[in-house]
Amino acid sequence: MLRISPTDTPPASISAGQGWPLFSTTATRQIEKACAERLPPHRLMERAGLAIAKLAMAIAPHAQRIWIACGPGNNGGDGFEAAAQLRAMLPHAQIMVSEVRAAAELPSDAQTSRDKALQAGAQWLDGAPVDLGPQDLCVDALLGIGLSPRTSGKTSAAYQRLLQLLAQVQHCTCSVLCVDIASGLDADTGQYLREFAPVHITTDQRRHTLALLTLQPGLFTGQGRDACGQIWWDDLGCGIASTPDVPSSPTLAAAAQPVAHLSNPGLASSRTRPHASHKGSFGDVAVLGGEGLGMRGLSMTGAAWLAALAALHTGAGRVMLALLDEPSPQGIAPWPEIMLRRPAAQDWSQATVVCGCGGGEAVQAWLPHILAQAPQLVLDADALNAVAASPALAQQLSQRAALQQSTVLTPHPLEAARLLRTSTAQVQADRLQSCLQLASKFQCTVLLKGSGTVVANPQQQVWINASGNARLATGGTGDVLAGLIAALWTQGQSADMAATQAAFRHGHIADCWPADLPFSASALALRLGNP
């Protein structure tokens, strides 16, 4: 997902277990100001233009026509600078520029770069080229991280031209390179402002984004992953990459504290097991869920089986499954290693518990006991809905931390909305803040599912997972994730680490799935032992 831009800037090193820092728009602006003050005038924009031009050549080495759409601010200035650089690098290629704002209205740096592009021989267009082929390239330098709600509602000619050019960028069929972030996308939340959202996603596009100076959360969550595609990063030689989470300059460190971190693939590495081990060395997972046909005629026992199967194949020492299918589960277990229990017979105080997968209405009666007994508890699906519907259960959940009992919640956006008493749209509008609110409200680790899964804890630490794809949009994969978290947790990981590791491994397996192999939740669970 993340690659380093091919410039002369030294790449940032990634230490084991350390994720890339993600900065807010405000912090990025502060870093940009501090960097510009340390450099000669216009040098930062020159470096940005060079980085864009070199990456453009790497993405589309055979492009004969490159169209650069330049916006009204410094993002547009970076585009003008890239046009000048590309003219020098590709003298036989056609470098075309469209602009939103009149030259006299541009910031001074952008004016300087615009003049350079004109002098270099870039071709100015009124709109988009009509015959840009699939082997050519479009550079989106319209808005970048300069987007704000104040941009909306304008009726000027420049604003209408911006909308027109943005629509043409979003719907062209050639590869697209976005500068900073896909235009129209909020860099802090990963959501489009309504008036800038594409009418439909053009699946023919190959999208790339070059983040300059910092990485922002919106690149990796919400609509950001589809909008931005392959992410590249360049710190423009400002020394921000000397360590992943602390800029080298004291001035920059004071200006910029990350709001989140990107989960690192190194988190998924498995530990070698000592030879002198036994099944008790790797913890117990107990799963409660799976309402049977007898209660309402709606069997959901498969969800609980999937969670148990995932825990088994992730290496838990023992896995017990208590189905809410009274009077007792019938038949022979399809996986004899998973030990069946009646709920009343299971000692819930001696295991890491997964509660809720396929639990239906039957799980609600058991929740007070589970919340009181389980030392480590993964709450999923119908257990979350039961908590959302019951103030007494919600209060009991929020009190677990004070009793030294740990909890991981794994809601999807609708379940999160119910827990926060808001709408799914509001949850998705700011996924990081929604996840933080849940972690604070219930004093536990929260994993908010979706594109760019977010993990947060009560200490206001946030991680975003960048693995995974639309293969996971099928029934049962969330149950697999719950069992995976429990298995990692019971083997000694912290709640936060188990959640972030599980999210990465879950998505990574989907990313590496053979194209000719059918995908299903049970197949995913079986593959967890060999990610």
Q: Show binding-site residues.
A: 303, 356, 412, 449-453, 478-479
Instruction: Note if the bond before 327 is cis, omega within 30 degrees.
Output: yes
Residues contacting 170, CB < 8 A, separation 6+? 198, 202
**DSSP label of 7:** S
Q: Is 47 helix (H, G, I), strand (E, B) or coil?
A: helix
22's enclosing H/E stretch is: strand 20-22
Helical packing angle, 477-490 and 301-313, nearest 10°: 40
Longest dimension (CA), the chain: 83
- Binding residues for AMP, by number, are 449-453, 478
**DSSP label of 361:** T
> What is d(CA 202, CA 92) in angstroms, rounded to the nearest whole number?
29
Name the region of 15 (left: φ>0; alpha: ψ -120 to 50; beta: rest). Answer: beta
The CA-atom distances, in angstroms, between 519 and each of 211, 341, 353, 452, 515 are 33, 30, 27, 20, 9
For residues 385 and 416, the answer to whether their CB atoms sit within 8 Å is: no
352's enclosing H/E stretch is: strand 352-355
Instruction: For 362, list phi and psi in degrees, rounded to 5.
Output: -70, -25
Helical packing angle, 431-442 and 413-420, nearest 10°: 50
Strand partners, 232: 3, 210
Q: Residue type for 342, please?
A: R
> What is d(CA 474, CA 477) in angstroms, rounded to the nearest whole number?
6
For residues 322 and 362, the answer to whether their CB atoms sit within 8 Å is: no
> What is d(CA 522, CA 7) in angstroms, rounded to the nearest whole number?
44
> What is d(CA 313, CA 531) in angstroms, rounded to the nearest whole number?
11
- Binding residues for (6S)-NADPHX, by number, are 303, 356, 412, 479
Of residues 83, 466, 490, 134, the one with CA closest to residue 285: 490
Name the region of 360 (left: φ>0; alpha: ψ -120 to 50; beta: rest). Answer: left
In 10 A of CB 284, how many CB atoms? 20
Residues contacting 253, CB < 8 A, separation 6+? 246, 247
* 3-class SS string, 426-442: HHHHCHHHHHHHHHHHH
Exposure string of 499-515, with b = 16+ CB inside 10 Å and e = fewer, is: bbbbbbbbbbbbeebee
Strand-by-strand arrangement of the 2-4 sheet = 2-4, 230-234, 207-212, 175-179, 137-141, 65-70, 94-99, 123-124
